[in-house]
């Protein structure tokens, strides 16, 4: 449809006898005031004293005739238009139209040369002016019909454009689904313990015991309450650091939860080379290197175990998971600070999408609740100084938040190509729809206060999922309970999603699990979609007014009905930003 917003209008009074085809005219002073103009398509003498004008709206429409005395004055815009370029169109009758999501309806005040076309797109049974902004409430079908009928009566041209057919593509990336979950967290071992604790609002943070922690200024952390060594065959456990032990336990749970043979790939009928592992970790387990150094100083080089080096590298978790389940496709490790777990899942999504593997165990694992790490964080003034009490010392989005609580654990998703999962009759939790990355490029530790980098990662995740902002029903926030970090994330969420999307933050329950945070919080987000229930944020007894988000507190809340996308955020020191997009199915 033609737009003529650049048409200059310079009103000038003339007689009807002076106008010629192509003139842009207003028929009265009121029409001039209301920007109601017509193009003269034809002129025809009606009688010796009258002239018939055939008129059409300048932006297109249907013709109508007006008969005037030759001396009758009209107003010309002093603008000649090409009559052949003005389309003859009629409004679409929307009454018989059966609307579908993806349809578009436009309304244009065609008599105004400088009018801007209004456009509505249907999504989730409602009509939005902009699918990627939440500036106003959507309009239901009947209200749109009423609005367009009123617009037609006022001279608007209303058009309906059915949902476009999808163009054939040379290669369509495969759809990726989540079929298994596993977790080891401060709330206990297993996904069931994690979910129950989140929904009940339990805090897994505890006082650190042992003389090595006695002199530290902060002695609370999110420690796993069970020794993982007792849950693994002892010969295997001795060759793993604590982080790898967590990883193997969580990965095995996800593997079995997906209905796969606990003995591994070959025994379960899977091709080992078509399965991969992707693990996020910052350090893995710093205690092994510290212990080796202590033995070197106290007893000399012969006392240092030959396992010190292989048990120190951050990649040990990925290698031990591949060993435990005989996975030979690939074993990848991602190290991007506290965004590591989420980025590891994102990379696994792409490896499946583009056919590199069919199945992947992806998540994060970390075990850095050690005296040196705790002392370092305390020296940075990054740790919360709140003590254990009636509420969590980790207080995301709260007005009295003062820092994060260090934690440990592991969380894994079992990802599969959809056709692979359907072929074996697997239960599907949700779709792993997309992910987004960005970098703040602002400071080695502090977040960019504008939140612009976070906003970019959010938009990229939504776009990668083939979705729109209006599809987002929930955000699992990174929200470490640092003053500046929570504000930056909140600013980004408001800029991209507005302030009405329900948000939850889980670090009041768990502490900050570092490289494992993205994996565990992805598990929680999958469960939120699966159960249709958002766990509450604990520790946020009084929300900071500057946050200005719909933070879920006190008790669980049902997911909104309109939309299908949930986002899980992870951000790390140095400006690493990663966002995972998950879509509910069924």
Q: Give the pLDDT of residue 285.
A: 77
Question: Does residue 7 form part of some domain?
Answer: no
Among the options 468, 478, 530, 576, which is catalytic? 478
Same structural domain, 390 and 517: yes
Residues 157 and 180 in one domain: no
Parallel, antiparallel, or unpaired: how do β-strands 565-572 and 472-477 relate? parallel
Q: Are residues 230 and 268 in the same domain?
A: yes
Judgement on whether residues 33 and 155 belong to the same structural domain of the protein: no
Q: Indicate if the pLDDT at residue 292 is higher than 80.
A: no
Record the tokens describing residue 3, joined without a space.
């737009």
Q: Is residue 66 part of a domain?
A: yes
- Residue 580 has φ and ψ, to the nearest 5°, of -105, 135
Quote the CA–CA distance of 109 and 391 in Å, as a whole number.
58
Q: Which residues contact 408 (CB under 8 A, 6 or more apart)?
A: 186, 221, 222, 223, 224, 242, 243, 246, 366, 367, 368, 369, 513, 514, 516
Q: What is the mean pLDDT of the chain?
A: 94
Same domain, residue pair 118 and 180: no
Give me the number of domains the chain comprises. Answer: 3
**Cα-Cα-Cα-Cα dihedral sign, residues 139, 143, 148, 153:** negative
Q: Give me 183's structure tokens.
A: 């977790």
Known active-site residue 338: yes
Per residue in 181-209, pLDDT (tens digit) is: 999 999 999 999 999 999 999 999 999 99
What gap in Å lies between CA 375 and CA 378, rounded to an integer?
A: 5
Q: pLDDT digit string (tens) for 112-131?
A: 999 999 999 999 999 999 99
Which pLDDT does position 94 carry in this prediction? 95
139 and 264, same domain (yes or no) = no
pTM score of the predicted model: 0.89
Complete edge-to-edge strand list for the sheet that includes strand 156-161: 139-140, 126-128, 118-123, 104-109, 156-161
Residue from 156, 420, 474, 512 carrying the catalytic annotation: 512
Please name which of 34, 67, 265 lies closest in space to residue 155, comparing C-alpha atoms.
Answer: 34
The CATH number assigned to the domain holding 35 equals: 2.30.30.30
Task: For 473-489, write each residue's pLDDT tens digit.
Answer: 999 999 999 999 999 99
166 inside domain? no
Q: Is 96 part of a structural domain of the chain?
A: no
User: Is 139 found in the same domain as 77?
Assistant: no
pLDDT tens sequence across 423-474: 999 999 999 999 999 999 999 989 999 999 999 999 999 999 999 999 999 9
Q: Please tell me whether residues 138 and 37 are part of one structural domain.
A: no
* pLDDT for res 165: 76
**What per-residue confidence (pLDDT) applies to 3?**
47
What residue numbers bound the domain in which 315 lies?
A: 176-584
Q: Per this entry, what is the length of the chain?
A: 586
Judge whether 512 counts as a catalytic residue: yes
Residue 295 burial (10 A CB sphere; 0-12, 13-18, 19+): middle
Question: Where do runs of H (alpha helix) occur along 262-327?
Answer: 287-299, 308-312, 316-325
Task: Give domain status of residue 95, yes or no.
Answer: no
> What's the CATH number where 423 sits?
3.40.47.10
413 with 471, same domain: the answer is yes
Name every residue whose Cβ is closer than 8 Å to that of residue 312 and which is 6 or more positions away in sequence: 241, 284, 285, 288, 289, 292
Whether 351 has a pLDDT exceeding 90, the answer reads yes
């Amino acid at each position: 449809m033609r737009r003529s917003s650049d048409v200059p209008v310079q009103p000038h009074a003339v007689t009807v006898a002076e106008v010629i085809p192509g003139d842009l005219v207003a028929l009265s002073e009121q029409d001039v005031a209301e920007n109601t103009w017509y193009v003269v398509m034809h002129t025809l003498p009606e009688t010796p004293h009258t002239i018939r004008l055939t008129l059409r709206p300048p932006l297109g429409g249907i013709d109508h005739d007006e008969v005037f005395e030759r001396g009758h004055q009209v107003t010309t815009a002093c603008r000649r238009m090409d009559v052949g370029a003005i389309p003859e169109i009629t409004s679409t009758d929307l009454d018989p139209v059966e609307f579908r999501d993806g349809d578009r309806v436009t309304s244009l005040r065609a008599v105004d040369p400088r009018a801007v076309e209004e456009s509505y797109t249907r999504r989730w049974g409602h009509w939005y002016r902009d699918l990627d902004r939440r500036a106003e409430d959507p309009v239901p079908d009947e209200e749109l019909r009423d609005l367009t009928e009123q617009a037609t009566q006022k001279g608007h041209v209303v058009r309906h454009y059915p949902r476009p057919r999808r163009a054939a593509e040379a290669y369509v990336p495969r759809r990726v689904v989540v079929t298994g979950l596993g977790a080891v967290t401060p709330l206990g071992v297993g996904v069931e313990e994690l979910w129950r604790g989140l929904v009940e609002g339990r805090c897994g943070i505890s006082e650190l015991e042992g003389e090595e922690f006695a002199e530290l200024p902060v002695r609370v952390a999110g420690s796993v309450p069970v020794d993982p060594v007792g849950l693994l065959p002892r010969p295997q456990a001795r060759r793993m650091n604590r982080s790898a032990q967590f990883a193997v336990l969580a990965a095995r749970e996800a593997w079995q939860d997906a209905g796969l043979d606990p003995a591994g790939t070959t025994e379960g009928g899977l091709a080992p080379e078509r399965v991969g592992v992707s693990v996020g970790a910052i350090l893995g387990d710093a205690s092994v290197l510290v212990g080796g150094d202590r033995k070197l100083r106290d007893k000399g080089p012969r006392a240092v175990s030959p396992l010190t080096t292989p048990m120190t590298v951050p990649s040990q978790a990925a290698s031990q998971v591949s060993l435990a389940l005989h996975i030979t496709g690939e074993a990848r490790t991602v190290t991007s600070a506290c965004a590591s777990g989420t980025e590891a899942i994102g990379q696994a999504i792409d490896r499946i999408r583009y056919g590199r593997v069919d199945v992947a165990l992806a998540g994060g694992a970390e075990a850095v609740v050690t005296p040196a790490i705790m002392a370092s964080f305390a020296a940075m003034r990054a740790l919360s100084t709140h003590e254990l009490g009636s509420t969590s010392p980790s207080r995301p989005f709260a007005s009295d938040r003062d820092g994060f609580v260090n934690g440990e654990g592991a969380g894994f998703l079992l990802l599969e190509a959809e056709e692979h999962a359907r072929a074996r009759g697997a239960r599907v939790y949700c779709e792993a729809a997309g992910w987004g990355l960005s970098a703040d490029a602002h400071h080695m530790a502090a977040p960019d206060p504008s939140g612009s980098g976070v906003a970019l990662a959010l938009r990229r995740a939504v776009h990668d999922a083939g979705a729109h902002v209006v599809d987002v029903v929930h955000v699992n926030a990174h929200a470490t309970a640092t003053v500046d970090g929570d504000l930056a994330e909140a600013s980004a969420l408001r800029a991209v999603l507005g302030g009405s999307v329900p948000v939850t933050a889980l670090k009041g329950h768990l502490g900050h699990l570092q490289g494992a945070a993205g994996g565990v919080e992805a598990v929680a987000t999958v469960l939120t979609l699966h159960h249709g229930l958002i766990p509450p944020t604990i520790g946020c007894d009084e929300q900071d007014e500057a946050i200005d988000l719909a933070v879920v507190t006190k008790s669980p809340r049902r997911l909104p009905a309109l939309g299908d996308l949930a986002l899980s955020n992870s951000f790390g020191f140095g400006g690493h930003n990663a966002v995972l997009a998950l879509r509910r199915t069924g």
